[in-house]
Structure 1
Amino acid sequence: MSLFSRATGPSMTRRLILSLTFAMTFLWLLAVGLGLVVMEEELAEIFDGTLQDTAERLVPLVVDDLEHRGMAGGPSDSAQSAAPQQLQTASSSGDHEYLIYQVRDPSGRVLIRSHDAPEQAFETPLKAGFWKDPTYQFYTATSEDRKIFVQVADAFENREEAVREGAIALFLPLILLIPVSGMMIWLVVRRAVKPVSELRREIETKDGGNMEPIDASILPRELQPIAVSVNLLMMRLRTALDAEREFTSNSAHELRTPIAGALAQTQMLIAELTDSSSRHRASQIEASLTRLSHLAEKLLQLSRAEAGIGIADKPADLGRILEMVLTDFWRGMAKPSRLIFHRAPGAKLTGPFSEDAFAIVLRNLIENALVHGRQEEPVEVFLEDGGPVRIVNAAPAMTEAEIASIRRRFSRGKTEAAGSGLGLSIVERLLGQMNGHLVLLSPASGRDDGFEARIVLS
């Protein structure tokens, strides 16, 4: 089990993908917007140029037509009335005209007009060059004698329609390009940060049971210093853990020996004493030494649990460990029949768990069941194939608050039995390292009373 908690903060990959996608979208929209501004200016120049060319090309045609009709020295009323009707009929095709024009004399009277041009004269000065009103852009061209004025008009709505269609042509591809580009950015970013994810997974697997160095040579140059630093840290941590475990092992031997010696001497003294008061005091010393021996054992187990002995990287047969622990209890019990083992046919319990840690867990739970359960009723241990290990003893039912209380370190609940209140703390600490947890039930499963400790290993 990894000692590193899984990160719950924002994802760097997600933030990078979203940032790049939003930045790309913003830049594309900005580019299209600037393109539209430039396109609008260019279209205005093109339309103005077309307007000017059309007016200037119409001037010689109109003058020539008027001369052929005998209007070289000035148009007559009959010619003026005939020419517009003839030209208007010739220019009518039933289609919408983008450009309209009027031919006017120096007095402003309309001589000729296009099909869609109004009958009234444009409100445009008779002056060569561009002019505009809210609806039209005009260009006025004159003949050499300045007696004929040709005014061509282009509606602004034609220009707006051209800009609008150009904008649609530019924006429509973005509807497809933005999601496609987002997908491409996602693929590129995921590929680019893949070494970071692999390094993260490698670091997550490093704990007290797996301290193999990370191969920095396969990582990108930017990540190699991180891997080297992690390897150095793990080397120092491995050295510290080895020293701590060696100290714990030596301390166990050093503490057990003098306590066992003092206890043996006290028991010999009790056997030699004849005075009842002296024997009573010696018995109190024996009881105190026994409690001290038990407390020292629990403290040493707790120290080993804190050192991380529950972590292992090799599979172990925990069913065999369970049988060995039960055999040790049976050998030391006055009534071995009180401890009953139920093993389902073919039941196995294996996994990458520490055998030593599992044995400590079993010893503490079985010992608690024997000490705190009703003495006249049995303690049952159940093992099912791949399932949890259940230890059930007879006892009055407990409330949830009482169960929560006995989980706390040095808390012993409502009992007069001897103990240190450390057993469940040691069990939960070791099971946490073994990627498991402890379930406490009262009443026990399928009963109205009793207490059940369930070891669940995933």
Structure 2
Amino acid sequence: MTRRLILWLTGATTAFWLIAAGLGISVMQDEFGEFFDGSLQETAERLMPLVLDDLQRREGPSSPQHLLRQGEDMGDEYLVYQVRDRQGRVLIRSHDAPVEPFEAPLKRGSWKNGDYQFYTASAGDGTIFVQVADAMANRNEAITEGGLALFLPVLVLIPVSIGLIWLIVRRALAPVDDLRGAIEEKDGGNLAPVPSRMLPRELQPIARSVNHLLTRLQAAFDAEREFTANSAHELRTPIAGALAQTQMLIAELDGPRKRRAQQVEASLTHLGHTAEKLLQLARAEAGIGAGSTNVDLARVLELVLADFQRGDLAPSRLRFERQEGARLEGSYSEDAFAIVLRNLIENALLHGRAEEPVDIRLETGGVVRIVNGAAPLTPGELATIRKRFGRGNTGSPGSGLGLSIAERLLQQMNVAFDILSPATGRKDGFEVVMRFGELAAQ
């Protein structure tokens, strides 16, 4: 919008200036014509008595007289004249006047051809005529120089006007840009009201409407988070109790009844896992990813890996590599990073090929990679698994929340998150990459 305003205002201003200059040249041409014509007439009228007096004093037969200027060459004459008799013969001519008679008729008044503008003055008896000529080239030169004097300032003023218009437009539209930036910052983790007190009167209704919408969104998000968190908390205890009772029942039964009890145990385990994911999701939506103190996330990574290695989810498949000098420090949330790692490593173990290892690499530059073996996914499948409750073509257990929880927390931590399939340097595999940017300490 700023660019369009600058272009339109500059174009309109330039067009008005050019039109004004053109009208000025037109008026100048008319005024110059009147001035030059008046000068011609005045010169001819002043010359007439002098010429008549000179002719009366001359003795002998009349012959054309060529007036010479004394001294150094003074350049071309601006006005030239001829004195002619009734028969058209030239009696006297100025220095630069042609030898041949002018084409102008011997008639009092103005006349012009392609080269000269003439004015003819005549004696009272009509026997002597004074014809003064002004070259059209001189008039055209005056108009050209006058036009350049009008147009050249326009060429200087155009860039100056562009700069001034840009400053004025930017200053006038600064509140619009501030409002745009304030609205652009809003997301699920930042629903603070847009400041409207300093906005112009025309923009305040927009800010009020946006703030009203943000308030309603905040209330909806709060209700959703509270419901999810409360549901997860309330479900954990009864699920754990039911799971313990079922395990005791399995120990007491045998045959078909034992297999049914084991199915109940698997369902309760899945339900407990889903409740745990919902609790993590509620914490992610609550914005726990922001950190205020400098922490060492490499230590958190090692602790999470040690916890997995003590568990029963194929700990032997985990391989950890840390490049020499690789560090992972900054103002992050240790709790959020641990949740991210648990979800990503768990997904790699559950959905990766059971016969292939899961590689976790910490590289210099704050890059963490988690790679597992898997068939390459299509772009559509990659988009599906990034959605909440989205699951790919897999028979492994899961709720479809792990990736969405990890991505949400990493967004709050301002960490770039990429999913690659096939993995880097491979024809198959699945890879997630977390880029923490510049390290707080080198």
- Please give the TM-score of this superposition, normalised by the length of structure 1: 0.79
Name which of 252, 255, 265 aligns with 1:286: 265
Please tell me the residue identity of whatever aligns with 2:48.
Answer: V
Q: Distance between the aligned counterparts of 1:46 and 1:69, measured in 2?
A: 34
Deviates more, 1:22-31 or 1:157-166: 22-31
Q: How far 1:228 sits from its partner (Å)?
A: 4.1
Name which of 130, 155, 167 aligns with 1:175: 155
- Map 1:116-127 → 2, pairs under 5 A: 116-127=96-107
Structure 1: unaligned runs, 5 residues or longer: 1-11, 71-77
SS for the counterpart of 2:67 is helix
Please tell me the residue identity of whatever aligns with 2:247.
Answer: Q
Cα separation, partners in 2 of 1:208 and 1:110, compared to 1, 3 Å: same
- Map 1:405-424 → 2, pairs under 5 A: 405=381, 408-409=384-385, 410-413=390-393, 416-424=395-403
Q: Distance between the aligned counterparts of 1:353 and 1:203, measured in 2?
A: 25
Q: Counterpart of 1:252?
A: 232
Cα separation, partners in 2 of 1:144 and 1:335, compared to 1, 3 Å: closer
SS for the counterpart of 1:35 is helix
Q: Contact 2:376–2:427 (CA<8 Å) still a contact in 1? A: no
SS for the counterpart of 2:398 is coil
Please state if 1:194 is matched with 2:171: no
Please state if 1:62 is matched with 2:29: no
Cα separation, partners in 2 of 1:336 and 1:37, compared to 1, 3 Å: same
Name which of 290, 306, 310 aligns with 1:312: 290
Q: Distance between the aligned counterparts of 1:419 and 1:98, measured in 2?
A: 102
Deviations 1:252-307 (CA, angstroms, capped at 9, x unpaired)? 12344444444334333323324x011122222322333344345446655766x4
Q: Counterpart of 1:35?
A: 24
Cα separation, partners in 2 of 1:121 and 1:427, compared to 1, 3 Å: same
Q: Contact 2:314–2:349 (CA<8 Å) still a contact in 1? A: no
Q: Counterpart of 1:270?
A: 250
Please tell me the residue identity of whatever aligns with 2:11.
Answer: F
Please tell me the residue identity of whatever aligns with 1:249.
Answer: A
Q: Distance between the aligned counterparts of 2:209 and 2:292, measured in 1?
A: 27
Q: Distance between the aligned counterparts of 1:109 and 1:442, measured in 2?
A: 106
Q: Distance between the aligned counterparts of 2:110 and 2:31, measured in 1?
A: 17
Q: Contact 2:422–2:428 (CA<8 Å) still a contact in 1? A: yes
Deviations 1:225-265 (CA, angstroms, capped at 9, x unpaired)? 44444444333333332222112111212344444444334
Q: Counterpart of 1:184?
A: 164
Cα separation, partners in 2 of 1:429 and 1:90, compared to 1, 3 Å: closer
Q: How far 1:367 sits from its partner (Å)?
A: 1.0
Q: Counterpart of 1:8?
A: none
Identity of aligned residues (%): 61
- Map 1:19-168 → 2, pairs under 5 A: 19-69=8-58, 78-81=60-63, 84-85=64-65, 87-89=66-68, 95-168=75-148
Q: Counterpart of 2:440?
A: none
Please tell me the residue identity of whatever aligns with 2:369.
Answer: R
Q: Distance between the aligned counterparts of 1:243 and 1:355, measured in 2?
A: 26
Please state if 1:399 is matched with 2:376: yes
Q: Contact 2:336–2:409 (CA<8 Å) still a contact in 1? A: yes
SS for the counterpart of 1:79 is coil
SS for the counterpart of 2:75 is coil
Q: Counterpart of 1:7?
A: none
Q: Contact 1:16–1:189 (CA<8 Å) still a contact in 2? A: yes
Paired residues, number? 430
Q: Distance between the aligned counterparts of 2:267 and 2:433, measured in 1?
A: 32
SS for the counterpart of 1:242 is helix
Deviations 1:187-212 (CA, angstroms, capped at 9, x unpaired)? 33334433433333333333333344
Q: Distance between the aligned counterparts of 1:116 and 1:267, measured in 2?
A: 129
Please tell me the residue identity of whatever aligns with 2:231.
Answer: S
Q: Distance between the aligned counterparts of 2:225 and 2:356, measured in 1?
A: 39
Q: Contact 2:85–2:129 (CA<8 Å) still a contact in 1? A: yes
Deviations 1:158-190 (CA, angstroms, capped at 9, x unpaired)? 111111122222222333332233223333333
Q: Contact 1:252–1:300 (CA<8 Å) still a contact in 2? A: yes
Q: Distance between the aligned counterparts of 1:319 and 1:167, measured in 2?
A: 76
Structure 2: unaligned runs, 5 residues or longer: 438-442
Q: How far 1:67 sits from its partner (Å)?
A: 1.6
